[in-house]
Structure 1
Amino acid sequence: MDALLDEGLRAAIYFLEKNGEFFPFGVTMSPSCEIIHTQGWTGDEHPPSQEVIDVLLHGFAAGAERGEYKIRQSVMPEMARSTMPVAMRESIDL
């Protein structure tokens, strides 16, 4: 689970540093321990975050029923910001 959370936070920090923001996304681990990034597409270029979260959760539930995941992790912007060192959060917020 640490590897999954670490991968999600690394991606979130990358997106924040590069773009200043990111849409919610997920990181999953297959039964063979392959780590995969997952995004939710609503059909809109700039959807509300909750719509993306709903798509992700629906996809996670469907994938779990099919046995596609060993574990999964959702990453939302506030999660990434709260785990960053204060200096990094402040530099991104500028």
Structure 2
Amino acid sequence: TSRVWADQGPATDTTRQFDATYCRSLGSTSSCSTDKADNTDLIQWSKDNLSGKTTKYTYDKANRLTKVATDGGGTTYTYAYDARGNRKSSSDGTTDQTL
């Protein structure tokens, strides 16, 4: 996936570029294979092709997002859920938030 666009305003002319590769997979496996219906529900990883950084996504057995980690010293986010499956907290390693 790639996208390039220009923002032009009275004070600035800016060009932004987005270039990424990603893997989506049904279930919590790390492969990119899909089922017969070609369902691709859960993103497993994404790579920013401009910076070269890869972000990995981790899920629990109920397919709830529990961790997002970027290599190369990026921020790692963690998420916790209550018994009903509602997200109850999140953390970026320095700040914890209870929802």
TM-score computed with the length of structure 2 as normaliser: 0.29
TM-score, normalising length: structure 1: 0.30
Q: For CA contacts below 8 A with separation 6 or more, give which structure has more relative contact order.
A: 1
Higher strand share: 2
Q: Which has the higher helix share?
A: 1
